[in-house]
Amino acid sequence: MTTSEGMVDLTDAELVRDPFTAYSRIRERAALAKAVVPGIEPMWLVTRYDDVKLVMSDPRFVSSAAAVPGAVDLREQLWRATGIPEEHFVYLKAGVSEVDGAEHARLRGLVTRAFTVRRVTELRPRIAELTERLLDELPGRAEDGVVDLLRHFAYPLPIAVICELVGIPEKDRPQWRDWSAALAAGFGPGVAEALAGMVDHVRVLLEFRRHHPADDLITGLVRAQAEDGDRLSDVEMIALVQNLVVAGHETTAHLLANGTAALLTHPDQLALLRADPALLPKAVHELMRWCGPGLGTRMRYAAEDVEIGGELVRRGEAVMPVLAGANYDPREFATPERLDITRDPGRAETHVGFGAGPHYCLGAALARQEAEIAFGALFRRYPGLALAVEPEELRHGPNPGTWQLDALPVRW
């Protein structure tokens, strides 16, 4: 797991296979660890709960390398190493996650209204309807009585929801699904093609909504631009839409699949949930903690020297908060390796699976609600649902940033 220089190799097979155990080991060795990814300079990892929250929340850490004179932009190095053409950097850099302070508040403010708890609650009936429709179709998708729940339920539900909200027409959704999959796979010409395809398509949609407004987020952005003079640029609008669609379904799909697999392999917890569906919100918090898809966040840069665990992170150095380390930290969670859907956090959300601080996940309320509806309906509609393979045969994808299954074969 470590290189000859004692650094953590983030692409190491053992770490990718069982990140929760690997990061726990790293966390108990020291507060800070140096890590490498091929093609970019080393960065720090923080894995302890308090340190992870600190790096995500403390203004001494920023998202944009450009905000710290002399800092090397590791994100840009990563894009280059991934083969993303230089002309796309402008869109990636305009993303809401990449900027800080007033710029960040301005961009985030444009879309926050679409994701408030109240607005998300209004979507509940529509999400339930989409869920029931997909569940109706499941038996028809089966081959020899086995269906891949990731492909036929966990993916299509969140992409349908976010595309409706944003305003991507139904006929174009399979294309967006393919583009997002290419981005998530993370390497090669497919990534460049996907980015180019998304940018061109959002441009067309924005132009269309300028003349044919509807009740969707793209129309909201067009209106904001008209009211706001020149402040909101086309590049920013394209970056926002692309960000939302990709962030809005890829992770949610893996929460649905990981969570279903976790409940099917912990029948005592599933029985508790079946006996008392009011446990659903707590169960979703616990599944986010125990098998949440986001293993780490984007790296942050120290805007000044900061001491963490007795060691110094120097100004300009990059730090990645490891959510999977924090969510299994025994300093915060009793017996963290135990899945316990009755775990009472005391507060609404103690895990850091949706991040923390100013970049806290914009879609957290939406993702939680989709998961509550999806788990509730799935286990009610298919009481005999079971894995169609042995648990140890479930394969996790090779993405070091996301805890994701390749497939989730089930039978009922």
Restricted to residues 298-337, the positions that interact with ligand HEM (CB under 6 A) are 298
DSSP-assigned states of every residue in 279-346:
GHHHHHHHHHHHH-SB-B---EEESS-EEETTEEEPTT-EEEEBHHHHTT-TTTSSSTTS--TT---S
Shortest distance, CB of residue 242 to ligand HEM, whole angstroms? Answer: 10
Q: Are 128 and 372 in contact (CB under 8 A)?
A: no
Q: Is 363 in the site for ligand HEM (CB under 6 A)?
A: yes
Q: Is 251 in the site for ligand HEM (CB under 6 A)?
A: yes
Q: Is 255 in the site for ligand HEM (CB under 6 A)?
A: yes
Span near ligand HEM by CB under 6 A; candidates 76-84, 246-254, 311-319, 325-333? 246-254
Shortest distance, CB of residue 266 to ligand HEM, whole angstroms? Answer: 19
SS3 43: strand
Q: Are 291 and 259 in contact (CB under 8 A)?
A: yes
Choose between 27 and 351: whose C-beta lies nearer to ligand HEM: 351
Q: Which of 322, 383, 362 is nearest to 166 (CA)?
A: 362
Restricted to residues 130-169, the positions that interact with ligand HEM (CB under 6 A) are 162
Q: Are 30 and 309 in contact (CB under 8 A)?
A: yes
Span near ligand HEM by CB under 6 A; candidates 203-211, 228-236, 287-295, 386-394? 287-295
Shortest distance, CB of residue 132 to ligand HEM, whole angstroms? Answer: 20
Choose between 282 and 359: whose C-beta lies nearer to ligand HEM: 359
Contact map string, positions 97 to 136, toward ligand HEM, x by CB under 6 A:
x----------x------x---------------------
Q: Which of 278, 282, 300, 299 is nearest to 290 (CA)?
A: 282
Instruction: Select the residue interacting with ligand HEM from 44, 79, 290, 354 (CB under 6 A).
Output: 354
Span near ligand HEM by CB under 6 A; candidates 29-37, 64-72, 191-199, 359-367? 359-367
Restricted to residues 204-243, the positions that interact with ligand HEM (CB under 6 A) are 243
Shortest distance, CB of residue 297 to ligand HEM, whole angstroms? Answer: 3
Q: Is 366 in the site for ligand HEM (CB under 6 A)?
A: yes
Q: Is 361 in the site for ligand HEM (CB under 6 A)?
A: yes
Q: Are 361 and 354 in contact (CB under 8 A)?
A: yes
Instruction: Return the HEC string of 258-280.
Output: HHHHHHHCCHHHHHHHHHCHHHH
Q: How far apart are CA 82 and CA 85, in angstroms?
A: 9
Q: How far apart are CA 193 and CA 280, in angstroms?
A: 39
| 3-state helix, strand and coil shares in percent for the chain, rounded to the nearest 5 | 60, 10, 30
How many angstroms separate the Cα of 73 from the Cα of each of 88, 335, 408? 15, 38, 37
Q: Which residue reads 């708890």 in tokens?
A: 117
Instruction: Select the residue interacting with ligand HEM from 219, 297, 369, 404 (CB under 6 A).
Output: 297
Span near ligand HEM by CB under 6 A; candidates 118-126, 220-228, 247-255, 404-412? 247-255
Contact map string, positions 54 to 93, toward ligand HEM, x by CB under 6 A:
--x-------------------------------------
Shortest distance, CB of residue 96 to ligand HEM, whole angstroms? Answer: 5
Choose between 389 and 401: whose C-beta lies nearer to ligand HEM: 401
Phi and psi at 369, nearest 5°, equal: -65, -40
Q: How many Å separate Cα 136 from the centre of its chain?
A: 27
Q: Which of 321, 351, 244, 251 is nearest to 293 (CA)?
A: 251
Phi and psi at 338, nearest 5°, equal: -85, 130
Span near ligand HEM by CB under 6 A; candidates 68-76, 340-348, 363-371, 387-395? 363-371
Shortest distance, CB of residue 6 to ligand HEM, whole angstroms? Answer: 26
Number of residues that bind ligand HEM (CB under 6 A): 27
Which residue's Cβ lies closest to ligand HEM? 363
Taking residue 92's Cβ as centre, other Cβ atoms within 10 Å add up to 17
SS3 114: helix
Instruction: Select the residue interacting with ligand HEM from 54, 168, 239, 247 (CB under 6 A).
Output: 247
Where do contacts with ligand HEM occur on this chain (CB under 6 A)?
56, 96-97, 108, 115, 162, 243-244, 247-248, 251-252, 255, 292-294, 297-298, 353-355, 359, 361-363, 366-367
